[in-house]
Amino acid sequence: MSKSDKVKEEIGAIKSYLGFVIAFIITIGAGLAKVYLDNSSDFLILLGVLSLLVLAIVFSFLAKLMHQKISELENI
């Protein structure tokens, strides 16, 4: 496998991971809204907000990594 093919595969995998992260963010956001509207546990609200923050950080890390791989592909 050539280097460009390997980088393309890595970019494709990162795009898949970004899709999963976005799906998790949407799901947790919807669940957080439901918990908030039901005036349920404050612990669950805190846990949801923290998980959204962690997922946002993971998303930004993966996006940065994908852009680095795209730049690497341009240099090949």
HEC assignment per residue over 10-64: HHHHHHHHHHHHHHHHHHHHHHHHHHHHCCCCHHHHHHHHHHHHHHHHHHHHHHH
DSSP type of residue 75: T
| CA 20 – CA 24 distance, rounded (Å) | 6
Convert the pLDDT of each residue in 21-75 to its tens digit.
Answer: 999 999 999 999 999 999 888 899 999 999 999 999 999 999 999 999 989 888 7
36 assigned to some structural domain: yes
The model carries a pTM of 0.84
SS3 (DSSP) at 9: helix
The range of the structural domain enclosing residue 8 comes to: 3-70
44 assigned to some structural domain: yes
75 assigned to some structural domain: no
Number of folded domains that form the chain? 1
pLDDT at 74: 81
76 assigned to some structural domain: no
Angle between helices 42-74 and 3-37 (to 10 degrees): 160
